[in-house]
Amino acid sequence: MTLVTDNATWGPGYSQAGDALHRLVGYHIRSRSVPNVSNYQQIVRMSAQTDSTSDLIKWWNGYRLQDLARAGILTDVSSAWDRAAREGWSDDAELRTSFTFEGRQYGVPLYKSYYVILYSKKAFARLKADVPTTWDEFVHLVEAARRAGMTPIASGGATTWESLIWFQQLVNGLDHGYYQDVTAGRASYTDPVAQQAMRLWADLYRREAFSAPDLSAGSLPGQLAKGTTVMQLYATWTVGSLLTSGLSDADLGAFLLPPPPGGAPSVVVESAGLTVAAKSHKHAAAVAVADSWLDPSVQKVFSNFLKDTSADPSVVPDVGVVRDVATAVKEQQPAQATRYWEASPPALVEGNVQDLSAFMTNPTPANARSTLDSMQRRADKEWKVWNS
């Protein structure tokens, strides 16, 4: 079974999962990667409508998935979700919705990552700090780290998609319902919740909470290991790369960011889809692979490779920090929201990410308001295009 993907480092994981799938459906997986995301999207869109398509395609969920589904490129795999619910492998209605177009599902989740605060245990020990349970405690931790000469929060990505991370977290933490509405075009980016989120973000910058926006990701593992950088808000899928970069499981801790005043426990979720090309040469077999992807025997193999959580909540890799996150989610039951990158039409999100990047380089209250105005003007335009 052929699979095209944008992540070259996952090849061994697909192979190992393919071995588990072979025992279930008689097919291995042979993956082929296109590392450049822009090229990847173009190649998939062009090849998926020809006889040269791959059988399986790694793709995003949310509106990015809908974009391919409504173009007739993907196959309905609702049967996989029905089987997962029936077998007790996953009954995640929120996640299932993110793979849905016109009432049918067009992909199954490869993984399920949570955006959490990852922290240096060495830094916490130096600060004699406990995991914060309120927003005020979190702010006090930031201030204590700054006074100690540490970088409180690693937050680069001012020229990439990563500029959305704090925006999505603060908006969803303040009001999960509003986050759902604004990403669906039912609310305005200039509404009070978004304004409050931007004020909180600007206030953290005023407190010198963040690293330089051009932070090099390659330097972060060393900074966390030494304790010179204290925290990072990021998806749990990054744990694997941190561990392979020299950190040990004992170096890292994690917690769900406490909601700002007036908010409620919430967490942003990232996933990607294993999808079946409508013109797959082994179409029936590819659907069978999708139907079996959430089988625990497959998920355990792939989850252990990624060192990340699965759509099946019973499958958690043997990594302490990831197990801590899974436990926190189970205990706190936070409202779960689709990552902003997939939560709205692609053209809208990509334009708004540029606005958020610009804000990160000039994080003033005045720029916060003009950023939201620009985002809403784009929303007015792009929702009309999407709906037409």
Q: Tell me, what's the pLDDT at 358? A: 95
Q: DSSP secondary-structure letter at 312?
A: S
Q: Is the dihedral of CA 167, 218, 249, 144 positive or negative?
A: negative
Q: Which helix (H) or strand (E) holds 117?
A: strand 113-120
Q: Tell me, what's the pLDDT at 274? A: 98
Nearest Cα neighbor of 63 from 39, 110, 91, 97 is: 97
Neighbour tally for 159: CB within 10 Å: 15
Do 91 and 85 form a contact (C-beta atoms < 8 A)? yes
User: For residue 30, what are the β-bridge partners?
Assistant: 2
Strands 113-120, 266-270: pairing is: antiparallel
Tell me whether residue 384 is exposed, middle or buried, using C-beta atoms within 10 angstroms of its C-beta: 0 to 12, 13 to 18, 19 or more.
exposed
Q: Which residue positions in the chain have pLDDT lower than 50?
A: none
CA separation, residue 114 to residues 52, 93, 323 (Å): 35, 16, 12
Q: Provide φ and ψ at 234, rounded to 5°.
A: -160, 170
Tell me whether residue 146 is exposed, middle or buried, using C-beta atoms within 10 angstroms of its C-beta: 0 to 12, 13 to 18, 19 or more.
middle
Q: Residue for token digits 């999960």? A: 176
65/53 Cα distance (integer angstroms): 17
Q: Provide φ and ψ at 382, rounded to 5°.
A: -75, -30
Q: Which helix (H) or strand (E) holds 270?
A: strand 266-270
Q: Where are the alpha helices (DSSP H) in the chain?
A: 11-25, 37-47, 62-69, 78-87, 93-97, 121-127, 135-147, 164-174, 176-183, 192-206, 220-226, 238-244, 283-292, 296-306, 320-332, 340-343, 346-361, 365-387
Q: Tell me, what's the pLDDT at 160? A: 87
Q: Tell me, what's the pLDDT at 217? A: 78
Q: Tell me, what's the pLDDT at 263? A: 97
308/240 Cα distance (integer angstroms): 7
Domains of the chain: 2-112+271-313 (3.40.190.10), 113-268+341-387 (3.40.190.10)
Q: Tell me, what's the pLDDT at 216? A: 79
**Exposure letters 314-344 (e unless 16+ CB within 10 A, then b):** ebbbebebbebbbebbeeeebbbbbbbbbbb
322/241 Cα distance (integer angstroms): 13
Helix (H, G, I), strand (E, B) or coil at 226: helix
Do 152 and 145 form a contact (C-beta atoms < 8 A)? yes
Structure tokens given for 14: 């697909």
Q: Tell me, what's the pLDDT at 49? A: 84
89/290 Cα distance (integer angstroms): 13
Q: DSSP secondary-structure letter at 277?
A: B
29 Cβ contact partners less than 8 Å away, ≥ 6 residues apart: 1, 2, 3, 14, 15, 17, 18, 21, 56, 289
